[in-house]
Amino acid sequence: MSRSPSPDREPLREFLSGDARELGPLLLGAVLSHDSREGRVSVRLTEVEAYLGPEDSLHPDPGSHTYRGPTPRNAPMFGPAGHLYVYFTYGMHHCTNIVCGPEGVASALLLRAGEIVEGAELARHRRPTSKNPADLASGPARLAKALGLTTAYSGRDALVPPFGLTLPDRPATQVSSGPRVGVSGAGGSEDYAWRFWLSGDPTVSRYKAAKPRPARQHLR
């Protein structure tokens, strides 16, 4: 019997078991793939946003879905790193997270934008309203749509087929950071500059990208 070679994913999973705020910049440039019956779409991540759980009392995160503890919906965020947390919002949109932190700790990165590097045709089919290729995944709900992700995939392991995650050869050097988008209250303030994006990348979501500032300016 031929045994299909399966890559050792545990080093990557352990890497992802770190703090989402530190992993955010390091995941920029990583490629997430999803194979479906329709074909394969791969996205190179250009914008992510960190969310924490109730464990971190130093940084209460009322903007996080896990702020009030585990629920059936947010359960994957408390699970092992490298899994997906997909949620439904505004009655019509899906958004995708990659779970970070050790099991039991609700840390995750919301995938806010990316560049389609494989399966652009299928991505266009899933997002017919997008005319510009750079807009295929320039927003969290757009990215989820382009990858064909719904809540049905929440909790699935992003490191195992039909998914796949590959880190960039080298960490990105030109990274910007800023306040999170759509989060009200303290969690959205300047003190929580947990949104990271590749500086000047055309696929970064338009919403607040107009006023980019170097990550440096946020370090006191």
Partner DNA sequence: CACGCGATTTGCT
Partner DNA sequence: GCAAATCGCGTGT
Residues within the interface to DNA (CB under 7 A): 49, 51, 63-66, 68, 71-74, 77, 85, 87-93, 95, 97, 108, 110, 127, 129-130, 135, 139-143, 180-184, 205, 207
Q: Which is nearer to DNA, 54 or 168 (CB)?
A: 54
CB 81 within 8 A of CB 101: yes
The least CB distance from residue 185 to DNA, in Å, is 9
Closest to DNA by CB, 11 or 91: 91
Rounded Cα distance between 77 and 155, Å, is 8
Query: Which stretches of 79-209 are DSSP H helices?
Result: 120-126, 140-147, 206-209
Element (H, E) at 111: strand 107-118
- Quote the least distance from Cβ 7 to DNA, whole Å: 27
Complex with DNA: residue 176 or 203, whichever CB lies closer:
203
Whose Cβ is closer to DNA: residue 211's or residue 216's?
A: 211
Give the pair of three-digit tokens for residue 80.
């092992």
> What is the closest distance, in whole angstroms, from the C-beta atom of residue 79 to DNA in the complex?
13
How many whole angstroms separate alpha carbon 5 and alpha carbon 185?
48
